[in-house]
Amino acid sequence: MAEQNWKENRSSFFASALGPLLWTLVFFIVPMGIVWAYSFGRNAGLTEIDLVGTLDNYKRATEWLYLSIFAKSFGVAAMVTLICLIVGFPVAMAITFASEKWRPWLLLGIMLPFWTNLLVRTYALMMLMGSQGYANKALGGLWGGASWLKTLIGLEPLPTWEPVQLLFNNFAVVFGLVYVHLPFMVLPLYSALDRLDRSLIEASLDLGAGHFRTIMKIVVPLAMPGIFAGVMITLIPALGAYLTPDLMGGTDSQMIANVIERQFKRANDWPFGAALSFMLIYAMFILIALQGLRKKPAETH
């Protein structure tokens, strides 16, 4: 059914539109506008900022140092997304094909962590991954077991177990981001797989394809919109992640959000921070535009 022209029912239109429009204007567009304006400004004194329309901040933001941090953030986010996809796809498959009785509970199992406080989850993971934590203990146990096995077949035992540094490095950042973002990936994948007509899978099996080939040739191509949604929904927040690299990363694993934070909380270079902010936003726009490009040809065939 067609949408109603707003002129036909002005009172209802304004009743519903006024609040959200005004709020978005005052508390979103204006603040973003100020940041945008600041990104062309210059520090003049401790709290004064001159809006001089300079491009210096952007020039500095495109220096190698900052570009490499952008690249690194992107690399980490891409890796996190890939791992989430590989880990999450079978989980989404399992939920889709689970029995009616189990499916809601499996979904809930994926969603409950998503509803749990991010900081609490990060802290829980840090506790486990500390040098005295259980992850290290488990690895130590495996090491000991391997060493014992070696003596069993008459070889030299392994050297004594030294706790590995699991935290405060790039590995910890990727691991932590995967932990946090996995539910984001599974849910869109599940909703795409759930929409898939099962007789398509049966038809493929019926025509002689094995399960693996059916998944690669039928399930994955048809779940592509869901896969892309999952990728975007994981990639974008991972790219702008602040907390995980801040708490779990080492000195060399800061991502772009940490650099932005530093401009505001420590370096006190607001115009430069504003410019970096907008660089990050532009990067998001490019990602979204790329996804839009992919969609178009599929729709107009």
* Residues between 56 and 115 with contacts to other proteins, criterion CB under 8 A: 87, 90-91, 93-99, 102, 104-113, 115
Cα gap 37→54, rounded to integer Å: 10
Pick the closer one to other proteins by CB: 160 or 300: 300
In the list 79, 124, 139, 158, the residue contacting other proteins (rule: CB under 8 A) is 124
| Pair 205, 114: CB distance under 8 Å | no
Among 80, 239, 254, 272, binds other proteins (CB under 8 A): 239
CA–CA separation, 141 and 120 (whole Å) = 27
- Cβ atoms of 156 and 150 closer than 8 Å: yes
Smallest gap from Cβ 154 to other proteins, in A, equals: 33
Nearer CB in complex with other proteins: 119/155:
119
Does residue 35 belong to the site contacting other proteins (CB under 8 A)? yes
Nearest approach, Cβ of residue 81 and other proteins (Å)? 15
Interface with other proteins includes 5 (CB under 8 A)? yes
Q: Which of 127, 155, 216, 290 binds other proteins (CB under 8 A)?
A: 127
Among 76, 177, 229, 260, contact with other proteins (rule: CB under 8 A): 260
CB 272 within 8 A of CB 256: no
Interface size with other proteins, residues (CB under 8 A): 112
* CA atoms of 118 and 160, how far apart (whole Å): 36
* Out of 30, 55, 67, 290, the residue judged to bind other proteins by CB under 8 A: 30
Given a contact cutoff of 8 angstroms between Cβ atoms, the answer to whether 154 and 235 are in contact is: no
Could you say whether residue 116 binds other proteins (CB under 8 A)? yes
How far apart are CB 136 and other proteins at their closest, in Å? 10
Minimal distance, residue 173 CB to other proteins, in Å: 15
Tokens of 209: 């394809």
Identify the residue whose tokens are 């000991």: 144
Continuous segment of H or E residues that includes residue 144: helix 134-152
The rounded distance, in Å, linking the Cα atoms of 144 and 159 is: 9
- The verdict on 40 binding other proteins (CB under 8 A) reads no
172 binds other proteins (CB under 8 A): no
Alpha carbon dihedral 137, 139, 140, 145, in 10-degree steps, equals 130
Phi, psi of 50 (to 5 degrees): -90, 125
One-letter amino acid at 157 equals P
Chain residues 141-170 in contact with other proteins, contact rule CB under 8 A: none
Q: Which of 71, 119, 149, 155 binds other proteins (CB under 8 A)?
A: 119
Are residues 126 and 223 in contact, defined by beta-carbon separation less than 8 angstroms? no
With CB under 8 A as the contact rule, which of the stretches 54-62, 128-136, 145-153, 289-297 interacts with other proteins? Answer: 128-136
Q: How far is the CB of 210 from other proteins (least distance, A)?
A: 6
Which of residues 153 and 293 has its CB atom nearest to other proteins in the complex? Answer: 293
Per-residue contact string for residues 191-210; x = within reach of other proteins by CB under 8 A: x-----xxxxxxxxxxxxxx
Question: Do 236 and 206 touch, CB atoms closer than 8 A?
Answer: no
> Site residues for other proteins, window 261-280 (CB under 8 A)?
261, 264, 270, 273-274, 277-278, 280
CA of 171: how far to CAs of 13, 73, 281, in Å? 52, 13, 26
